[in-house]
Every structure is written in C-alpha cells, then in structure tokens.
Amino acid sequence: MSTRADPPLPHAASFRLEQDRDRLVLRAEHLPNYAPIGVDWASDDIRRRIRGGKRQLLGRAVGLHKYPQTSIVDATAGLGRDAYVLASLGAELTLLERCEQTAALLADALQRVPDDPAISRMRLFATEAVVWLHAHPATADVVLIDPMYPHSGKQALAKKEMQVLRALSGGDEDADALLPAALACATRRVVVKRPLKAPPLANATPNFRIMGSQARYDIYLPARGSTET
C-alpha cells in the first residue's frame, strides 16, 4: 500500500464557485488539473446505498431500522451524501455546514430537484455546528458526526476531492467539541463515524460500536436515561 502523503497545497490556495450547466460547482483555481466539485445525489454509488435499505451499516448506526421516521442532525454535512441517503430512507434531516462554499453547493442541490421526496425531508443551516447544537437542546433523535480525520502525513494519498475539501475547510481540528454539544441535542443517540484504527472522538469511550470493513460507528447514548443498545 502506498504511504505517499497528500501533495503540499500552495499557500495561495484559491477557490471559486461557478455555474457548470445546471449546477453550481467549486473549482480549486490553484489546482488546475483537478476537476471541479459539485453535489451529485444521482450517482450510482448513492443509488446503491439507498437500495441497501435501512439495515445497511449507516442505517443501523442511526437506528433507522428500528425507528423509520427518525429525526437526524448531520453536524458535518459536507457534500450531503449520507444525509441524502438517510432522507431517501425516510428520515428527517437537518444539515449543518459551516464552510460557506460547501453550504452553497448544498443549497444549490436542494433547489435543483424540489420534487424529490427526499429533498422535502432535508433542511440546511449554514452555521457552526457547535453553536447550533447548543442552541437546540434535546431537539433531535440522533446527531451524526463524520469529521475529517486529522491528516498525519503518513496516510495513503487522499482522493482529490478530499484534498480540496480539507484545504478549503482547514480540516476539523476542533471536532472534539462537537461531542458534548451533540449529546446535549440528541435524545436517542450520537453517532460518530471514525476510521477503524482512529481513537474515539474526544477520547470518549462509546457505549457501543458498529464495525464495518473500512470504518466504524461509535455510538454514544445521552445521559437522560436512554436504554438503547
């Protein structure tokens, strides 16, 4: 396996939102050989995940196989792929995204297909997740957190899309603060996606885990008496 690090990004990183036919895209002007990034919820991979149903790994992690109409806050929405899959399976999704450009891509995607039933179950807030979560205590069944894992310089070369998003957002070095805020907001569980060998978020031991072949979901139960397992 390759252990090449991501190529160093220029200090003068420059990003531009532009219209590309029917959708908004983000172009990394300092990386002219990289394709622009846009939100695509009609991809084969997304459709495959939706066909996997509520008992797929993510669906089980958020408890969708038990509670089909679960309300979920995606605290690290990114390009909204997990949120769209969950909304397509019947959940109500609140998307939080603090990066202005990424939030603009999400807003564009939500406007492009207004008749999609999944879209009607999604709402977006361009905001700092920690602030929003603290301002909305005990208002969602589940809070989902999927932070960027800190880049060590020893990882295999990341996908170009991830390189651009990491450079755009600066990574999620403050992700540990999300866990207590999420526990204050969630009434049923907090779900944190982590690489298999990564330490738990904020070094907090989860109540239980759901393991996959490439990642795991750490499940935390709020202290207000939840007995879920």
CATH number for the domain spanning 148: value is 3.40.50.150
Any domain includes 90 = yes
Any domain includes 33 = no
Any domain includes 62 = yes
Any domain includes 170 = yes
Between 22-36, 150-164, 179-193, the lowest mean confidence (pLDDT) is in: 150-164
Higher-confidence position of 145 and 20? 145
Within 10 angstroms of residue 197's Cβ, the number of other Cβ atoms is 7
Any domain includes 9 = no
Q: Is the pLDDT of residue 154 over 60?
A: no
Average pLDDT over residues 12-39: 87
Q: Which domain holds residue 161?
A: 41-220
What global pTM score does this model have? 0.88
At residue 173, the pLDDT reads 82
Average pLDDT over residues 198-213: 96
- Would you list which residues are annotated within the binding site for S-adenosyl-L-methionine? 81-82, 97-98, 146
**N- to C-terminal Cα separation, the chain:** 36
Any domain includes 22 = no
At residue 149, the pLDDT reads 73
At residue 158, the pLDDT reads 53
Angle between helices 81-88 and 44-51 (to 10 degrees): 40
- Would you list which residues are annotated within the binding site? 81-82, 97-98, 146
Read off the pLDDT band of 111 (50, 70, 90): very high
Average pLDDT over residues 15-20: 92
* Tally of domains within the chain: 1
